[in-house]
Amino acid sequence: MDPDSVKSTLSNLAFGNVMAAAARDYQKEVLAQEKAQASSSVNEDIDLDELMDDPELEKLHADRIAALKKEAEKRQALKRQGHGEYREITEGDFLGEVTGSEKVICHFYHREFYRCKIMDKHLKSLAPIHVDTKFLKLDAENAPFFVTKLGIKTLPCVIFFRNGIASDRLVGFQDLGGKDDFSTKALEGFLLKKGIIKENKKEEEDDDSYDDRNRSVRSSINPDSDSD
């Protein structure tokens, strides 16, 4: 046999053995990785099972569910009392409405006054957001007794009631910059400062939403109407 041929054959066999050994090593490594991943997955499952059985976590979850349920029941009860919307009432309804809730905002208005219409739009926007407070409006012309009793001389006049007692008021727009183009957020900030509404982060709207509403307020009101 040709020595060169023998040498080539031996070389090929040696190369083949090396490749076979490499293939076996690679296969072992792949199997080892799969085994490690399977073990890790089992451990994760065990950890998750342990978490699910953790009495502290179960208590936190139960407490959270109970709090959400209580809050939902409270909101439903408030809505049954007329919260969550901006409603018009009559003089005959007035005492029952303002004494029936802890916090009440009542806007005494005139149908023809331009600034009363502006105030209407902003209060209507805030009522669904701040459900803890009742938002009302009362035509001052049709409520002479309470207009006199509460010493209302300038409209719009927004009076704040706590447990049926008039605690503060907003007369005209002086506390809102004195201009007709104040924002809903400015009014909300004033009401928060007075404590007649509370901050509601869950349903808080961004500045763009307020700006959109303010544009709607300005565009939907006839600027030629009579004012106070």
Q: What is the pLDDT of residue 1?
A: 54
Q: What is the pLDDT of residue 70?
A: 67
Domain 84-220 has CATH 3.40.30.10: yes
Amino acid sitting at position 120: D
Question: pLDDT tens per residue, the chain (228 residues)?
Answer: 555 554 555 455 455 555 666 666 667 776 677 666 655 554 555 565 666 667 777 777 777 787 777 677 766 766 777 789 999 999 999 999 999 999 999 999 999 999 999 999 999 999 999 999 999 999 999 999 999 999 999 999 999 999 999 999 999 999 999 999 999 999 999 999 999 999 876 544 444 444 555 555 554 455 444 444
Domain boundaries, the chain: 84-220
